[in-house]
């Protein structure tokens, strides 16, 4: 399940759909993200990270962000990298570690897709680096928006600064 917000500016008509991963890591999405990471699609830093840490994992969840410079909103993949907390428990093939080792914590959606909660990632892994997300329009730094009333109610239109109308959306 994913969820997000439809943003709408009643003054200038600006519209954006922001989605976030709801604290779940889907196996299929994870595999795709990992493959892209290792081939350098997400930059040299992440590619090098996986060369140095074959047992490392990457957070494939979507997050909601806003550009600190131009104010535009973006849904981006988290892409934070992690290494296992205990060296002893590192299996030889680290790629599917996060899913295989904690199979007792795995859950299945209606479509039989496996996912893992972000809490398990936090419990068994140490954060190494947060991905420095930047704005596609102006290359400004993106700040992460939390899905809470305080963060969400303050959102304003990037173009005319009018307070945005936020409609929560959820789907499978
Ligand atoms: Zn506007
Ligand atoms: Zn920007």
Tens of pLDDT, residue by residue, the chain (172 residues): 568 899 999 999 999 999 887 555 667 777 888 889 999 998 999 999 999 998 888 888 889 999 999 999 999 999 999 988 865 444 444 444 455 444 444 555 555 555 666 776 777 888 999 999 999 999 999 999 987 877 788 899 999 999 999 998 876 6
Count of the separate structural domains present in the chain: 1
- Cβ-based neighbour number of residue 26 at 10 Å: 19
**Inside any domain, residue 103:** no
| 109 domain-assigned | no
19 part of a folded domain: yes
pTM for the model stands at: 0.78
Residue 94 in any domain: the answer is no
How are the residues of the chain apportioned to helix, strand and coil, as percentages rounded to the nearest 5?
Answer: 25, 35, 40
**Is the separation of the CB atoms in 16 and 75 below 8 Å?**
no
Q: Is residue 150 part of a domain?
A: yes
Residue found under tokens 């993106």: 142
- 8 CA to centre of ligand 1 in angstroms: 8
Measured between alpha carbons, how far is 56 from 81 in angstroms, rounded to an integer?
7
> Has residue 120 been placed in a domain?
no
Cβ–Cβ < 8 Å for 3, 160: no
Evaluate whether residue 117 is within a structural domain.
Answer: no
Ligand 1 centre distance from Cα of residue 61 (Å): 28
How many A from CA of 73 to the centre of ligand 2? 8
DSSP state of 147: S
């Amino acid at each position: 399940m994913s969820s997000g917000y439809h943003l709408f500016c009643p003054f200038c008509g600006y519209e954006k759909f922001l989605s976030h991963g709801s604290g779940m890591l889907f196996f299929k999405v994870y595999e795709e993200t990992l493959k892209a990471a290792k081939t350098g699609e997400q930059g040299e830093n992440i590619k090098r990270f996986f060369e140095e840490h074959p047992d490392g994992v990457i957070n494939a969840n979507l997050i909601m962000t806003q550009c600190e410079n131009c104010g535009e909103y973006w849904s981006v993949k988290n892409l934070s990298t992690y290494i296992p907390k205990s060296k002893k428990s590192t299996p030889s093939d680290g790629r599917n570690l996060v899913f295989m080792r904690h199979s007792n914590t795995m859950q299945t959606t209606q479509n039989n897709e496996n996912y893992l909660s972000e809490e398990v990632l936090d419990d068994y892994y140490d954060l190494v680096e947060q991905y420095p997300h930047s704005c596609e329009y102006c290359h400004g730094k993106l700040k992460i928006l939390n899905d809470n009333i305080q963060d969400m109610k303050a959102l304003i239109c990037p173009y005319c600064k009018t307070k945005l109308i936020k409609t929560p959306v959820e789907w499978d």
